[in-house]
């Protein structure tokens, strides 16, 4: 084909075609280079226009895409995070306590495909402050919603659950406009009534009371240990002192006994020698016998005296031993008494500590709870009273507005009637009495209608009246029936002429049920003829 085209066309035309083809190819390359857009990592490329399908835009993060001229255009959305300070105040919690939760939220445009498309549809072309304002409104609403489902205790103690609920609710709503929450920092949680501060004081009081209990337990253990050690030391000292005194007394007693025995032996030896001497002398002389007897007597007295001294020494030793034992028992009793006193003091300290612990427990479990319940009852009562006051005020305002509107309407009606009456009197000119007649004529249809209502439902042909049939003379000497039926009909017929006259004066016609009254002649009475009595419609036995 190219060889055939080259053979049929001149060389200049072929060169022109080649140049044209090169220009077209170059233009296509330049167009592709200019319309191919790359997406930076910190931005989202949004291609809008005719993008295929039912979508209004196509969002890309990373990579690039060709933007067709004329039918498509592009723009970028920044992925840089935005910091929003939320000064949330007077948020109503679950128990109707208003709290303030100032927070700082960090948000940004999400890179998830569905959320990116939402951002492309709702945030494209908005300034950063407009995006932040939209996000702030969403966050405030969801924060109030989350706080309304939690109590003060749950918000203050379970921060993890509170932040989890905030994260879920806020992210769910932000995703609808293409945003998501990166981080939330709750700076503080306060309330207008001081409830959170009261909870903090309660926790501090519980910690202080627990510390006091632990200190009392430690002091009690130390006092008990010290008293036990002192008691054991005094008992040991008393035992050693008693043993030393016993040893000393035993040594003194042995010494005295030994000395008495040696003295007795010496005296006994001397007595024996003297007795031998006296016997030898007695043999020599008769006088020696009496001396001998005297010596024996003296010897016996001396021996008895020495034996008495020995017994007295033994008794003295035994008395001293008894005194030592008594002193030992007294010291042991003193030591035992001191130990019992120390133990009693320790027991008293234990009881005092247990009493303080019980008081602290009561303050924690009963008094604090009652104070909280009383505060809650006061808050609920104030809220209920405020509700009743507002409802009563609203009802009173509504009733007052209704009465004011009714009064205004009545005033308008009266003013309109007064103006109409004034114009009616003015139209009568000098004949002011015509105004009353005109007003009566105006009300005449209503009066006639009320009179017609009084008898229109009466079925006279169905009325059965039983009476005595007695008659009485009238004023002109005629006998007129005066029974119940006669009186009823006469009263009814007697009322017709005034009604007809009043209607004729007003220029109106009465209904046919009331009959018609002709004008009487000059020589006739104005009294209408009494209707002929109707035979009662009844059957025998009725």
Q: State how far the Cα of 184 lies from the Cα of 166, in Å rounded to an integer.
A: 9
Per-residue pLDDT of the chain (542 residues; tens, 9 = 90+): 545 555 565 667 777 777 777 788 777 777 666 667 778 878 888 888 777 777 778 888 877 787 777 777 788 888 889 999 988 888 888 878 888 889 999 999 888 888 888 888 888 888 888 999 999 999 999 999 998 888 888 887 788 888 899 999 999 999 999 999 999 998 888 887 777 767 767 777 777 878 778 887 887 788 788 878 888 888 888 788 878 888 888 888 888 888 877 877 778 777 777 777 777 676 777 666 677 777 788 888 887 887 888 788 778 878 888 887 888 888 888 888 887 887 888 888 888 888 888 888 777 778 877 888 888 898 988 888 888 988 988 888 889 888 888 888 888 888 888 888 778 777 777 776 677 777 777 777 877 777 777 667 666 555 555 555 554 444 444 555 555 556 665 665 555 556 666 666 655 565 565 566 665 544 444 444 444 444 444 444 43
Per-residue H/E/C for 2-17: HHHHHHHCCHHHHHHH
CATH code of the domain made up of 78-192? 3.30.479.30
pLDDT on residue 466:
54
pLDDT on residue 223:
79
pLDDT on residue 528:
47
Residues contacting residue 464 through CB under 8 Å, at least 6 positions apart: 536, 537, 538, 542
Place of tokens 């009494």: 530
Tokens standing for residue 11: 């060389």
Tokens standing for residue 413: 């009606």
At 100 the three-state DSSP class reads strand
CA distances from 295 to 267, 270, 281, 303, 312 (A): 13, 11, 12, 12, 25
pLDDT on residue 250:
81
pLDDT on residue 92:
84
H/E run at residue 469: none
pTM (2 decimals)?
0.36
Spell out the domain ranges in the chain.
2-75, 78-192, 199-391, 487-518
Q: State how far the Cα of 249 lies from the Cα of 261, in Å rounded to an integer.
A: 18
Note whether 432 and 425 are within 8 A (CB).
yes
Bridge partners of 58, per DSSP, are 47
Q: Which of 66, 203, 164, 177 is nearest to 124 (CA)?
A: 177
Bridge partners of 45, per DSSP, are 60, 76
Q: How far apart are the two ends of the chain, measured CA to CA in Å?
A: 131
At 187 the three-state DSSP class reads coil
Note whether 124 and 46 are within 8 A (CB).
yes
Q: State how far the Cα of 13 lies from the Cα of 10, in Å rounded to an integer.
A: 6
Note whether 468 and 485 are within 8 A (CB).
no
Residues contacting residue 334 through CB under 8 Å, at least 6 positions apart: 234, 238
pLDDT on residue 174:
92
């Amino acid at each position: 084909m190219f060889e055939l085209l080259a053979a049929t066309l001149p060389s200049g035309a072929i060169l022109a075609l080649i140049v044209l083809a090169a220009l077209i190819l170059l233009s296509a390359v330049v167009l592709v280079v200019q319309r191919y857009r790359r997406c930076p990592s910190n931005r989202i490329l949004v291609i809008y226009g005719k993008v295929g399908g039912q979508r209004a835009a196509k969002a890309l993060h990373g990579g690039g895409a060709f933007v067709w001229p004329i039918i498509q255009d592009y723009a970028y959305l920044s992925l840089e995070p935005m910091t929003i300070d939320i000064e949330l105040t007077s948020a109503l919690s679950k128990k109707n306590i208003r709290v303030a939760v100032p927070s700082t939220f960090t948000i940004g445009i999400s890179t998830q495909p569905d959320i990116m498309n939402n951002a492309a549809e709702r945030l494209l072309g908005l300034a950063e402050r407009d995006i932040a304002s939209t996000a702030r409104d969403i966050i405030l609403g969801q924060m109030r919603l989350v706080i309304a489902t939690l109590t003060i205790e749950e918000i203050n103690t379970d921060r993890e659950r509170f932040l989890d609920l905030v994260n879920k609710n806020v992210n769910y709503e932000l995703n609808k406009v293409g945003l998501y929450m990166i981080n939330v920092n709750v700076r503080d949680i306060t309330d207008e009534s001081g409830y959170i501060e009261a909870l903090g004081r309660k926790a501090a009081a519980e910690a202080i009371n627990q510390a006091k209990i632990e200190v009392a337990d430690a002091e009690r253990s130390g006092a008990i240990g010290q008293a036990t050690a002192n008691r054991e030391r005094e008992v040991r000292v008393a035992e050693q002192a008693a043993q030393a005194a016993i040893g000393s007394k035993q040594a003194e007693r042995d010494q005295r006994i030994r000395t008495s025995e040696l003295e007795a032996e010496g005296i006994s030896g001397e007595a024996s020698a003297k007795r031998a001497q006296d016997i030898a002398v007695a043999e020599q002389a008769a006088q020696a016998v009496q001396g001998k007897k005297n010596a024996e007597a003296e010897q016996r007295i001396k021996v008895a005296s020495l034996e008495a001294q020995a017994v007295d020494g033994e008794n003295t030793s035994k008395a001293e031993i008894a005194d030592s034992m008594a002193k030992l028992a007294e010291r042991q009793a003193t030591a035992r008494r001191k130990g019992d006193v120390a133990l009693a003091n320790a027991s008293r300290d234990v009881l005092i500590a247990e009493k303080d612990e019980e008081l602290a427990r009561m303050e924690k479990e009963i008094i604090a709870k009652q104070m909280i319940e009383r505060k809650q009852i006061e808050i609920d009562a104030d809220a209920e009273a405020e509700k009743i006051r507002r409802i009563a005020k609203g009802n009173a305002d509504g009733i007052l507005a209704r009465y004011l509107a009714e009064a205004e309407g009545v005033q308008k009606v009266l003013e309109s009637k007064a103006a109409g009456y004034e114009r009616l009197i003015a139209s009568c000119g000098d004949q002011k009495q015509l105004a009353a007649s005109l007003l009566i004529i105006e009300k005449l249809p209503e009066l006639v209608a009320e009179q017609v209502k009084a008898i229109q439902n009466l079925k006279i042909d169905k009325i059965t009246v039983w009476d005595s049939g007695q008659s009485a003379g009238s004023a002109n000497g005629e006998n007129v029936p005066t029974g119940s039926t006669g009186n009823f009909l006469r009263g009814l017929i007697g009322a017709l002429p005034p009604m007809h006259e009043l209607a004729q004066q007003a220029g109106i016609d009465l209904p046919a049920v009331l009959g018609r009254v002709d004008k009487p002649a000059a020589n006739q009475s104005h009294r209408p003829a009494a209707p002929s009595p109707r035979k009662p419609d009844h059957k025998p036995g009725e």
